Amino acid sequence: MTADQGGGPLLRVEDLVVEIPRDGMVSTPVDGVSFEVGSRESVGVVGESGCGKSLTALALLRLHPRGAAHIRRGRALFRGEDLLAMDIDRLRKWRGRRISMVFQEPMTSLNPVFQCGDQIAEGMQVHLGLSRQQARDRAISLLEEVGMDHPARRAGQYPHELSGGMRQRVMIAMAIACSPDLLLADEPTTALDVTVQARILDLLERLQEERAMSLLHITHDLALVSQRSNRILVMYSGRIVESAKTAQLVAEAAHPYTLGLFACRPRLGDRRRRLSLIEGSVPDPAHRPQGCAFHPRCPFATARCGQERPEMQSLGAGHAVACFEAERVREAGRWPDA
Ligand SMILES: Nc1ncnc2c1ncn2[C@@H]1O[C@H](COP(=O)(O)OP(=O)(O)O)[C@@H](O)[C@H]1O
Ligand SMILES: [Mg+2]
């Protein structure tokens, strides 16, 4: 807590807008996103594919695809310092050291030609000034900490010699090696089968608590974070549309999209996979409908929803929603049957 600036949140994102120029037009896949992550807090970010979750996380570390996208405006105050405005060399030193990221596909982040142990060790040599041997020893204990069997042997293996779940553990070991304050995990288990997924999520949860980290867990799976996060941000078409403590969101969701994400039915033949009941798809950010971006898919929509865009409004006790029909939605309590 001591290093917190005035006891404020660890991360405070204000009105983040990411633009992508395309065909002479400008689209805004991240369209005014604001949220906070507290010290030691675990926050879930949920939304279907194409809602702008990854771009939001990447932009915070200025790792968004250069050339394609740029940050139009906004601030991302980390311990009071703006990540979006600071000197890029300074930010490079913070990446991996104070804020780390874990991605869906470890093979895009792991280097195929280096042994896993050396890849974990590298950050500690650079950021913490450890010797090669010290860093290598630490890498082995990190592999043990993330639950790898035979950690010393694993350290000498190459990524292709490991299973998907083991690679993700290596990625997590790399991410926590320098004891960051914040871990951004973008669909960290989406590529894994369900049992491995649960083990990796248990691991992230344990590390977050033991290491007193904050965790921003991005996923398309609301059921998954509703069992594990302290607070949830629901994202739709480039904006946060509902934000609440997890128990609150489960008990009294006030955005139709949130109800839709909760209302999934088991997929035939695979009880653990769920099928969305929300018809249609997330709009292309270059062709967003007028009014509320969700209104064409929304069973609660009125004429106003097609004309005006609802802003986030507080419902009290840390619960906020961007919906004109929030009261009706909260009372209905569930996605209407088709
Ligand atoms: N490299 C890119 N080039 C062009 N458009 C992109 C690129 N990355 C993302 N986008 C646009 O931004 C939207 C949001 O993408 P993304 O942040 O990856 O969504 P999510 O992670 O929620 O699935 C996409 O639907 C797409 O329109
Ligand atoms: Mg994504």
Residue 338, pLDDT above cutoff 90: no
Of all protein residues, the one whose alpha carbon is nearest to atom 26 of ligand 1 is 50
User: Residue 193's pLDDT is what?
Assistant: 87
Q: Does residue 136 surpass a pLDDT of 70?
A: yes
pLDDT band at 3 (very low <50, low <70, confident <90, very high): very low
| Ligand with the closest atom to the CA of 185 | 2
Note whether 291 and 303 are within 8 A (CB): no
Give pLDDT, residue 215.
97
- How far does residue 211's CA lie from ligand 2's centre (Å)? 26
- Cα 38 from Cα 33, distance rounded (Å): 17
DSSP assignment of 284-338: PGGGPPSSSTTGGG-TT--GGGGTSPPPPEEEETTEEE--TTHHHHHHH-SPPP-
Residue 132 has pLDDT above 60, yes or no: yes
Write down the pLDDT at residue 271: 52
| Arithmetic mean of pLDDT, 153-180 | 94
d(CA 174, CA 132): 15
Fold of 11-98+180-332: Rossmann fold (3.40.50)
Boundaries of every domain in the chain: 11-98+180-332, 99-179
Question: Above pLDDT 90, what percent of the chain?
Answer: 83
Testing ligand 1's pocket by substitution, the residue of 33, 48, 55, 234 carrying the most ligand atoms inside 8 A of its CB is: 55
Ligand nearest, relative to CA of residue 60: 1
Confidence of residue 123 (pLDDT cuts 50, 70, 90): very high
Q: How confident is the model at residue 5 (pLDDT cuts 50, 70, 90)?
A: very low
**Closest ligand 1 atom, CA of 22?**
4
pLDDT bucket at 2, cuts 50 / 70 / 90: very low
Q: What is the arithmetic mean of pLDDT over 287-299? A: 97
List C-alpha distances in Å: 285 to 21, 50, 195, 226, 306: 11, 9, 35, 27, 16
How confident is the model at residue 337, as a pLDDT?
76
pLDDT at position 265:
64
- For the chain, percent of residues with pLDDT exceeding 70: 94
Average pLDDT over residues 309-332: 96
Cα(75)–Cα(133) distance, rounded to whole angstroms?
A: 40
With a Cβ cut-off of 6 Å, ligand 1 is lined by 20, 29, 47, 49-55, 65, 68, 284-285
